[in-house]
Structure 1
Amino acid sequence: MRPLRWLPLAPATVLLVLFLAGPIAYCAYIAFTNMQLTGSSSADFVGFENFRRAFSDPKFRNAVWLTLVFTVLSSIVGQNTLGLALAGLMRRASKPVRTLTGALVIAAWVLPEIVAAFLLYAFFRREGTLNAVLDWLHLPSQNWLFTLPILAVSFANVWRGTAFSMLIYSAALSEIPKEITEAAEVDGANGVRKVIHVTLPMIRRSIGTNLMLNTLQTLSVFGLIWAMTRGGPGDRSTTLPVFMYDQAFNKSLIGYGTAVALLLLLVGALFSVVYLRLARAEV
């Protein structure tokens, strides 16, 4: 009778194998071939040649660096810090302020990625809103998508994704017993010390979960960057997803592009392992 206990899991297991494990295994196979979109339809096994090509390619190394910059700025620092700050401020704000702030922040989150990208493109472009405000204030303006493209797309990702962090931290802060914060205040802890020694240790698991989910989401951002800069000018905003797309579909190098995708998957797995270990560590 015991094998029958696993019978309800069989449909889910079959679906995971067909639509998750199967495609991943096929992509892993393609990464070790020279498959192309054009030319010969056959794909020859080339071993680790695609991976050797990637690590010797200056454009790949540039994409890795820009991916790390984009992830640190927009996820680890931007969304995480701003989301925690908004959650803390909203706890002390009046109900109308909380409702208005929450609606504005979540509105950016629920927008389709392509819509958010065009809104931020209109904001940062040479004739856009930001420069119009700077000109009105008699401050120097510039073409932000040309001079600081990676910062522009990082800001766009922060603007769009902060609501997720805010919601996680709002739920985590609401679970902190008032007795603990009141005891800290009685002991003379000010606002900064209370945050460092009480609030952050109490929500450390939520911090780890939020960082892991935000980092994985940010590592896979493609549409936002492609719509705003197409990885340019040159390759100054070409992150790994953009580089992978360019190699696989613009240059028809499916095998090479898939190898880059596997390396990106490895980077995401490494971040996940680090966050999970931090979340399980004792305070």
Structure 2
Amino acid sequence: MTSSIDAPVAATATLRSPSPRRRGRRRSWPLLLILLGPAVALILLFIVVPAGYGIYLSFTNTQLTGFAARDPKFVGLDNYSYLLTSADFLSSLGHTGQFVLYSAIIGQTVLGMVAAILLSRPWVRGKGIFGAAILMPMVVPEVVASLAWASVLSNGRAGTLNQLTGLFGAGPTDWLQVVPMVSIITVNIWRGIAFAMIMFQAALEDVPVELIEAARIDGARALQVFRYVTLPLIRGPVFLYLLLTTISTVGVFGLVYFLTQGGPGGQTRLAAIYIYERALQFSQVGIGSAASMILLAIVLVLGVVYVRLAKVEV
């Protein structure tokens, strides 16, 4: 029989002893550090630290050459005020918005959805060839794709597009000079349809067949079934794709730079090209960093809008 003196001691020991759940958590910490440590270190090293350093540079007059390269000074919001009143920078933001809207949000989304719907139909023949033809631009390196399209849009008679239009009696046209924005939008659509098709096809496979059959029995047409049944069910993946393609398209540089270098007359000078010119060609790293931060803020706002529209909790 336990004495009255030993009872409080036993109760105190019971209170101090950790529960099995707490012991399990303590034992899992080393495993979590081993598994997540390298990934967290890489994120800190290649994302968080460069972003923080970029924010710092945006408040300085850092340059690659000259006196400011040796002794950069803190200038506060001067870089931001300069950019927000600069016609060249605001024009580059407008060109970027136009490029993202027509090539990513409209072109890639619509054509990718059409391709995904066609591949999901049992009556479509040659799905392997059709799918491979759409996926091929995705695996082609950006430089190779740029050189190929430079040949297609060449201003001489040897240009592929000029040869096609020559069959109808048209003369050779310098497409990258006459319609530069349309040209780079077309090339970017060609590059991005594959990713849209893959995401939309995966989303369409999760749509219950019973709902589609019920809508058809009720007399709904194909477009009505897609609008009122299929599209609401894949709303989340669609806005997720819009978020991803907007982020990637805002940062497009090599494809446009190899084709037009921002010309002619700055008609295709996107924000990425403007940042490159300021930071590397003109050695104004501070202004280039500030332009990058403004572009990042715009992308973050668009990301929040997409998430709210999709009603996805993140």
- TM beyond 0.5: yes
Asked if 1:34 is matched to 2:65, the reply is no
What is the match of residue 212 of structure 1?
Answer: 243
| C-alpha deviation, 1:95, in angstroms | 7.0
Q: Normalising by the residue count of structure 1, what TM-score does the alignment of the two structures yield?
A: 0.95
Between 1:134-143 and 1:213-222, the stretch displaced more is 134-143
Asked if 1:132 is matched to 2:163, the reply is yes
Amino acid across the alignment from 2:98: V
Task: Check the 8 A contact 2:96/2:271 in 1, yes or no.
Answer: yes
Task: Check the 8 A contact 2:196/2:241 in 1, yes or no.
Answer: yes
| Backbone CA RMSD of aligned residues | 1.7
What is the correspondence of 1:182-197 to structure 2 with a 5 Å cutoff?
Answer: 182-197=213-228
Question: Structure 2 stretches of 5 or more lacking a match?
Answer: 1-22
| Aligned sequence identity (%) | 35
Asked if 1:103 is matched to 2:127, the reply is no
Structure 1 or 2, whichever has the larger Rg, is 2
What is the match of residue 17 of structure 1?
Answer: 44
Higher relative contact order, structure no. (Cα contacts within 8 Å, ≥ 6 residues apart):
1
Query: How far, CA to CA, are the matches of 2:103 and 2:122 in structure 1?
Result: 26
Indicate how the Cα distance of structure 1 residues 130 and 181 shifts in structure 2: closer, same or farther if over 3 A, else same: same
Give CA-to-partner distance per residue, 1:42-100, whole Å, 9 cap, x none: 21110011111101111001101000000001000011110001100111255752110
What is the match of residue 238 of structure 1?
Answer: 269
What is the match of residue 7 of structure 2?
Answer: none
Tell me which of 105, 129, 134 is aligned to 1:76. Answer: 105
What is the correspondence of 1:48-67 to structure 2 with a 5 Å cutoff?
Answer: 48-67=77-96
Amino acid across the alignment from 1:229: T
Query: How far, CA to CA, are the matches of 2:116 and 2:191 in structure 1?
Result: 16
Query: How far, CA to CA, are the matches of 2:124 and 2:178 in structure 1?
Result: 41
What is the match of residue 8 of structure 2?
Answer: none
Query: How far, CA to CA, are the matches of 1:97 and 1:15 in structure 2?
Result: 44
Between 1:94-103 and 1:41-50, the stretch displaced more is 94-103
Query: How far, CA to CA, are the matches of 1:93 and 1:37 in structure 2?
Result: 59
Give CA-to-partner distance per residue, 1:90-133, whole Å, 9 cap, x none: 11255752110111111101111111111112112212211210
Query: How far, CA to CA, are the matches of 2:98 and 2:284 in structure 1?
Result: 26
Query: How far, CA to CA, are the matches of 1:114 and 1:234 in structure 2?
Result: 23
Query: How far, CA to CA, are the matches of 1:139 and 1:232 in structure 2?
Result: 25
